[in-house]
Every structure is written in C-alpha cells, then in structure tokens.
Structure 1
Amino acid sequence: MGIKWNIQGNKMVLLTIFYDGTCPLCAKEMAALRKKDSNKNIKTVDIFSDDMVGYPEIDITEANTILHALDQDRKLLLGLDGVHRAWQIVGKGWLYAPLRWPLIKPIADKLYRVFATHRYRFSLLLTGRSRCNCKE
C-alpha cells in the first residue's frame, strides 16, 4: 500500500489504533505492527497516555474493554475488526482474515472479548508480566 496524502500535502494516517499500553501482550502486538508499518500509515495511541486528549470521541473506559480504531474517515472499528484492518494496511491481513469469515466471526469476537477481559492474566502466563510501562 502506497503513501496517501491529504489535501494540505500532509501524509495521511489510514488508521489510528487505541490500545492498553499497560498490557504486555497488547504493547507487544502494537510494537510488531509499528515495525511492519514502513509507510507509517498507522498511528498507535496508548489509552492511558496524554495523546488521548486529541480523541474526545474515544471513551477511555470503553476502549479499555475492547480495542478501538479509527480509520481515515473516522469510522470506528472495534476489536478484531480494528486489528484485521491494521494488519491489512501493512500487508498481513491474511493472518486475521479467517477470523472475519461469516461463520467464524461471531465465535472469534466472543473469544476476543474473553481475551480482552482477561488480558493481564494471559500476559502473565505468556510473558511473565501482568502489567508493564511499555513505552517505546
């Protein structure tokens, strides 16, 4: 995917993704996404950072229960829809595409909600840390 420019000649961000920067697994996925995003089409925003001031339409309490993302038209994408779009932008959407197939989507979305609710426990099991101050 090429670089897109807005009418003022500034590079457009195609997706802004809001994540829990205190969750080791969440922070790790965002770091992996940023690494793949060579065109800088995605902006990642820690919901516990001062950067949230610029996004009054994002409710931090809600964003703390399910990942939120805004596309370039400010359309809200939630959970795996936002994750899938992010990985599509960096050319790896096929990794999450099966989770968006009509028969699998409802199950995947329910499992995502379980993960989101218990992400600190999953982080502890998989990384040895339940929380972090994962600034990069």
Structure 2
Amino acid sequence: MPVQMTLFYDGECPLCVAEMRRLSKADQKSHLRLIDINSTAFEEFPHIDATEASRILHGLAADNTLYLGLDATYHAWRLVGKGRWVKLTRLPGLKTLFDAGYRLFARHRYTISRWLTGQSRCSSGVCHKR
C-alpha cells in the first residue's frame, strides 16, 4: 500500500526522534514517510514552510490534507493501528487543553528533552548533550 502520510519532524529533538522511531517500528504496512526537516529530503517539499514545520509537527496526508501538531500525531498513530491512546487528545473539551500542552512542549522541546533524557540535541539521528 502506498504512503498515506508524510510526517515532517525535528530530527534534532531527542524526544521527537524517539517518537518517530516508535512510529516507524509500529508502521508494519509502510503507511508513513518520516522526513527530518533538517535533512536534504525536506527540500522535496518546498510548499511546506520550514519555519512553521520547525515550530509545530506537520503531517501531509496522501490527499494533501495538512495536519498540524497533535492532529498530525493522532492521524499518524491511527494509520499504524495504534491511534486509540492518542484519540483522547482529540476529544471535545480535552482537545484545547492538550493542544496548549503540545504547543508548550514544542516551544521548549530541547529543554524538556534534556530534562527527560539528559540529551538536548541530536545530529544525524545521534543524540548528545550540549
């Protein structure tokens, strides 16, 4: 089956890289294409704004629907058959709260990564302290 969604993620963020590895492992049917926004592969997508993609996760569905933040996360996990746990973040009433939390995480992802993993940045998929 062809790729159903391309995710544009920050390959310098240890927590983001870990999430993409989990998604990739769960993607048994190759529904996802994962693109590090810091890689040359990102150049294939000039219509995706690099500044915005570094600010918030972008997911481009096969039908050209653009999903942002937790909407992209939800659709990606749903495509790999594991969307039940993240579906809670999309429920009315909770969505606003989770989206605010995601925006806070995204803004401070390097600091949060350092707190949780001891690593603040990755380079070429290898994380290290800075």
TM-score (norm 2): 0.94
Structure 1 position 53 matched with structure 2 position 34? no
State the SS of the aligned residue for 2:106: helix
Q: 2:17 — aligned with what?
A: 27
- For residues 22 and 124 of structure 2, the distance between their equivalents in structure 1, rounded to whole angstroms, comes to 13
Q: 1:63 — aligned with what?
A: 53
CA contact (8 A) 1:33 1:87 kept: yes
The structure where strand makes up a greater share of residues is 2
Q: 1:101 — aligned with what?
A: 91
Unaligned stretches of 5+ residues in structure 1 = 4-11
CA RMSD of aligned residues (A): 1.0
- For residues 75 and 54 of structure 2, the distance between their equivalents in structure 1, rounded to whole angstroms, comes to 19
Give a deviation string over 1:93-112, Cα, whole Å, max 9, x none.
Answer: 00100100011001110110
Structure 1 position 84 matched with structure 2 position 74? yes
In structure 2, what residue type is equivalent to 1:82?
A: A
- For residues 134 and 126 of structure 1, the distance between their equivalents in structure 2, rounded to whole angstroms, comes to 20
Unaligned stretches of 5+ residues in structure 2 = none
In structure 2, what residue type is equivalent to 1:28?
A: A
In structure 1, what residue type is equivalent to 2:120?
A: S
1:95-134 correspondence to structure 2 within 5 Å = 95-134=85-124
CA contact (8 A) 1:27 1:134 kept: no
TM-fit CA distance, 1:134: 4.6
Q: 2:6 — aligned with what?
A: 16
* Rg larger for: 1
- For residues 129 and 72 of structure 1, the distance between their equivalents in structure 2, rounded to whole angstroms, comes to 34
In structure 1, what residue type is equivalent to 2:113?
A: S
Q: Which runs of 4+ in 1 moved over 4 A?
A: none
- For residues 56 and 39 of structure 1, the distance between their equivalents in structure 2, rounded to whole angstroms, comes to 27
Structure 1 vs Structure 2: percent identity of aligned residues?
Answer: 46
- For residues 134 and 49 of structure 1, the distance between their equivalents in structure 2, rounded to whole angstroms, comes to 9
